[in-house]
Amino acid sequence: MKKTKKAAPVVDGAQAEAAMTWGAQFLEYGKVIGFSIILALFIRCFVVQAFHIPTGSMIPTFLVGDRVLVNKFSYGIRNPFTNAIWIKIGEPQRGDVVVFKYPKDPKNDFVKRVIGLPGEKLEIIASQVYINDQPIPDERAFYRYTELPKSYRNFGPIVVPQDCYFMMGDNRDQSNDSREWGCVESALLRGKAWRIYWSVDPSQDRPFFSRLRTDRMGHKVE
């Protein structure tokens, strides 16, 4: 009598995983986690990074408690350790909202709007910005107070150095900017502000969900 060959047992995915040794499972999960970490670091270093807005210097463009995504690819690919440009892609334009290292303390990041470009003559007279002796539109400027140091409403004239940018906060009366500490070298730039991805009113006198500013989430920075 002819013997019939037994069919090999079918092992489904769950059984196969259970059959794996603990070491093999750990190795597989480690690969996935490691790849995810490397990808996240790559994106953070070269593509996009999140920043928190802690002050009101850019009101009304940014409110305290906004979280902003910054396009680090805007002006070039940079060394993540020294911030030196590896590949130049573009240059800041007047009106760009830029995150950069604070010239007085590069460990801190500031966000301001580009007002003066390299080589331009800049002057502020009674809050009006003049570039090369011509008044420029300044629709984003926001003024709150009138009793201020003269340097806030009147400044210059100066010539913006080459490879540098004159930065100002939109909240002109409450902004520590290039009027105080000078122009920003291009080597200090981090990238162009792109979108507000999260926003929470920092006051603690209301429940958390009532402090969410859902109308600001996803808002494009202009």
The residues annotated with a catalytic role in the active site are 57, 112
How distant, in Å, are the alpha carbons of 17, 165, 183 from that of 33? 18, 41, 42
For the chain, the C-alpha Rg in angstroms (whole number) is: 26
Measured between alpha carbons, how far is 80 from 61 in angstroms, rounded to an integer? 28
- C-alpha distances (whole Å) from 211 to each of 175, 201, 207 are 25, 5, 7
Q: Which helix (H) or strand (E) holds 28?
A: helix 22-42
- E strands present in 79-141: 85-88, 97-102, 105-116, 121-125, 128-131, 134-135
**Residue 35 contacts residue 159 (beta carbons within 8 Å):** no
What tokens does 77 get? 């690919």
